[in-house]
Amino acid sequence: DALNQSLSELRDIDVSFEFFPPNSEKMEQTLWKSVERLAPLKPSYMSVTYGANSGERDRTHDVVKRINQQTGIAAAPHLTCVDASKAELQQIAEDYWNSGIRRIVALRGDLPAGVDKTDMYASDLVALLKDVADFDISVAAYPEKHPEAANAQSDLLNLKRKAEAGASEAISQFFFDTSTFLRFRDRTAAAGIDIDLVPGILPVTNYQTLLKFAGFTNVHVPGWMHKMFDGLDKDDQTTRNLLGASIAMEQVKVLAKEGVKHFHFYTLNRSELSYAICHMLGVRGNG
Ligand code: FAD
């Protein structure tokens, strides 16, 4: 029947979770509580961001190491190339490989203010990493186009270069128009990009922060979301969480029906919404 069919469609779902290095005692506690809560779901990996130009790569590496030691789950550092020389990147990659890291999320990183050119793009970083060792490499993809890209087609060709350089999957920027992601997936297939395209799911808990973020990442926030969150800025956090979860659940349901098998969650170091969404998807960590 229909219920059994939809449950069987939901089998074999793979998830991954993204965290950022905490910068206070309190955030440190939140992070580790979330890691512990999400680990039993057996994600294929947990990734840890590194803020380009922050010079705090060690903090990313520390969190990666501890996730792996504490949970046994593969952990992947994000690595940017905009703020390091080739020799430095080679050294970092060797160190990562020697410490047992097998997956890297390879990014260019945002250009520092006032800079509008770079001699290294993410595709060059992917090639450099593959020269060092046989890493599994995830790269970024932009269903609504990267803000700097001249046009959608040139951005798509950039993704193709990253795939051809050796990336095995592309994680998408977050999005709210699910059809935009699906159209983008069609365009990547038509362009012969045959790596896994993983939707990046952002469960929204703070609408005002989201608006700022969406502004500089070129992500469209649909009018219906404005209406949904309107008047709730000072309301109980639970109300916003429920709405954020319902939006993300609707998204993943549609995407799972469309054959998506792997979801990446931008957890913002929180576990509640991602956990509930995974549960709805049938992810239990025991299969
Ligand atoms: P690229 O793929 O190199 O593309 C950058 C831009 O250059 C695009 O507009 C592309 O079309 C264009 N381009 C590429 N090649 C050429 C060329 N040869 N000539 C002209 N134009 C070209 N940032 C962080 O600082 N830390 C993180 O941990 C982090 N994690 C992220 C995770 C995900 C899943 C995503 C989607 C983004 C993340 N970012 C992170 C943000 C990312 O660093 C920025 O979006 C950055 O501006 C672009 O990085 P990229 O790897 O997509 O770059």
DSSP output for 74-112 = -EEEEEESTTS-HHHHHHHHHHHHHTT--EEEEE--PPP
pLDDT at position 8, please?
A: 58
pLDDT at position 122, please?
A: 98
Looking at the CA of residue 173, tell me the nearest atom of ligand 1. 36
Write out the chain's pLDDT in tens, 287 residues: 565 556 555 668 999 999 999 999 999 999 999 999 999 999 999 999 999 999 899 999 999 999 999 999 999 999 999 999 999 999 999 999 999 999 999 999 999 888 888 889 999 999 999 999 999 999 999 999 999 999 999 999 999 999 999 999 999 999 999 999 999 999 999 999 999 999 999 999 999 999 999 999 999 999 999 999 999 999 999 999 999 999 999 999 999 999 999 999 999 999 999 999 999 999 998 75
Residue 18 annotated as catalytic: yes
Q: How far is CA 173 from the centre of its chain?
A: 7
Q: What is the largest CA-CA distance in the chain?
A: 59
d(CA 275, CA 69): 21
Looking at the CA of residue 111, tell me the nearest atom of ligand 1. 47
d(CA 67, CA 22): 13
Burial label for 223, CB within 10 Å (0-12, 13-18, 19+), is exposed
Residues 15 and 262: beta-carbon distance below 8 Å: yes
Looking at this predicted complex, what is its ipTM?
0.99
Which of 9, 18, 36, 258 is labelled catalytic?
Answer: 18
And the tokens for 27?
């955030």
For tokens 């959608």, name the residue. 152
CA distances 66 to 27, 71, 95, 259, 279, Å, are 15, 8, 16, 33, 25
pTM of the model: 0.96
Residue 16 Cβ contacting ligand 1 at under 6 Å: no
Residues 198 and 252: beta-carbon distance below 8 Å: no
Residue 250 Cβ contacting ligand 1 at under 6 Å: no
pLDDT at position 3, please?
A: 55
Rg over CA atoms, the chain: 19
Cα–ligand 1 centroid distance for 235 (angstroms): 36
Cα–ligand 1 centroid distance for 140 (angstroms): 7
pLDDT at position 117, please?
A: 83
Q: What ranges in the chain are assigned the alpha helix state H?
A: 2-9, 25-38, 57-71, 86-98, 122-132, 152-164, 178-190, 207-217, 223-229, 237-257, 272-280
